[in-house]
Amino acid sequence: PSYNQSEYIEDTLRSVQNQTYENIEHLVIDGGSDDGTLDILRKYENEYNLQWVSESDEGQCDAINKGFTQANGDIVAWLNSDDVYFDTEVFELVVNYFNTFDEDIIYGDEVLINKTSTVTSVDARPKFDASKLSYRILLAQAASFFRREVVKQEKLRVDLHYCLDHEYWLRLSQKFSFRHVSDILAGFRVYDEQKSQTYDQIYKEFDSVIQEYDSSTPGLFYSLFDNSRIELSRWGQAVIDTYRLHQNPPKFAFDGSLAPLPRMLTNI
């Protein structure tokens, strides 16, 4: 899904183009950008197998659903036009995991990147537990991949703008299986102008979504204890991953770099 992200979309396109796995179908569903995005899409269309369309739509979810409908691959994912895949072997890893495990959805960890594509911290995600979805986010959207039948059966809700992915996880958890893998698969870009920084609107929509599902959340004490336990585990894994990245820097799929080790550790 794309709309007026010319500042970042080239990094996004490169992160797909630079994958070592070759059997890739890449679709860009643009909502009628007028900021130079289309010139970038035309450039990449000529360089490699990129299919794109630019037309008015009903927003991000509508664009993603169009892509789901058009996708032919056995494994499908969506990557927002300001995010990236992490290194050049992400798709190799994902294909191997789907060949190894029976789960319908596989998700990994992510890094946070800034406006200049510098990796600022590691975001290690917890194992999947559907019972926790009512009070915490488990998945990193950009690092999530689906078997084709998942996205053919279930589409995103076009009436949602902030919690579209979380509602999707809640709905999918009722009929499909998830597996977390401890690999960094994606980079999530953080900057002041992005939609996910509008916290008040996010919380309001999140509350309305949760009420539509089983809202039998645990008590406050248990929630705090459970979240603290999970966060401590995530923090420990992020520290380990951060040291590993600096000892053996990856071959980035995008035009990225690592922030200094002390800064990355502090950001955790």
Q: What is the pLDDT of residues 220-254, one digit of tens each?
A: 667 778 888 889 999 999 999 999 999 999 999 99
CA 101 to chain centre: 20
Q: How far is CA 70 from CA 80, 166, 225, in A?
A: 17, 23, 44
Vertex 104: Cα angle to 68 and 181 (nearest 5):
110
Paired tokens of 38: 């289309």
To the nearest whole number, what is the mean pLDDT of the chain?
92
Mean pLDDT of 8-35: 95
Please check the confidence at residue 195 and state whether its pLDDT lies above 60: no
pLDDT confidence bin for 209, thresholds 50/70/90:
confident
Q: What is the pLDDT of residues 54-111, one digit of tens each?
A: 999 889 999 999 999 999 999 999 999 999 999 999 999 999 999 999 999 999 999 9
Please check the confidence at residue 207 and state whether its pLDDT lies above 70: yes
Pairing of strands 105-113, 178-189: parallel
CA distance 80 to 214: 29
Helices (DSSP H) in the chain: which residue ranges? 9-17, 37-47, 60-70, 90-100, 148-153, 164-172, 199-211, 220-247, 261-267
Mean pLDDT of 45-53: 87
Please check the confidence at residue 155 and state whether its pLDDT lies above 90: yes
Range among 40-49, 186-195, 244-253 with highest mean pLDDT value:
244-253
